[in-house]
Amino acid sequence: MFDLNITTIIANIPALMIGFAFHEFAHAWVADRLGDPTPRSQGRLTLNPFVHLDLFGTLMALIYRFGWAKPVMTNPHYYRGDKRRGQMLVSLAGSIMNLIVAFVVMLLWYLTMLGVQGSQWSDVISLVFYSAVWMNLGLGIFNLLPIPPLDGFGVLRGILPERYDPQLQLIEQYGMIILIVLLFTNILGIVLYPAVNGIFYAYEKIILLILTPFLG
């Protein structure tokens, strides 16, 4: 999980900028569509990555490939309809966007390599695309974990009945400590790497299935 390879870190920079920008934009966009003016008023309804970057979360993403951006502030009281359902949709939006971006980037990667394969830039281009796919998958799956302050906890809060709110609030107090312990003991790596790799290979098979008729 720990990686200080300079080439990999450099390749991860555009990857995480894309991943974080689309992730946080998705949160802001869904909240905005539900009637919450907060993300728009704070300038978060944008794909500009520098608006969304969190220093520590960015460093974690560069080194560990699992990190986070600056959270989009929302106010569920503005959500139209069921507030808990709205909270769940906003929480899910970031990870779903990352998974979509990963698929699109992988498709572009395969199409690009058809034109540059064998050139002196092919390895560099391939590494950048690979990093972008891997980073988006990592962000998407990582943020779905039901651990505060990750998005998965917001999803869990939206699914569970209100009677469980006191227990969830108790867990929320220790969420960051739990997350840091899991990160530095590599427990998250043991859980997340198989999930990310599984989706990576599933995407690969789907894209090859799509492209095969056009390559014959």
Burial of 106 (0-12, 13-18, 19+ CB in 10 A): buried
Is 204 an active-site residue? no
Q: Which two tokens stand for residue 82?
A: 């069921």
Q: Are 131 and 8 in contact (CB under 8 A)?
A: yes
In one letter, which amino acid is 183? L
> Which of 185, 179, 112, 114 minimizes the C-alpha distance to 148?
179
Which of the residues 24, 162, 172, 204 is marked catalytic?
24
Nearest-angstrom CA–CA distance, 112 and 87? 38
Q: How far apart are CA 142 and CA 95, in angstroms?
A: 8
Rounded-to-integer distance, Cα 190 and Cα 153, Å = 20
- Sequential DSSP letters for 99-154: HHHHHHHHHHHHHHHHHHTTSTTHHHHHHHHHHHHHHHHHHHHHTTSS-TTSHHHH
User: Cα separation of 100 and 94, whole Å?
Assistant: 10
Residues forming the active site: 24
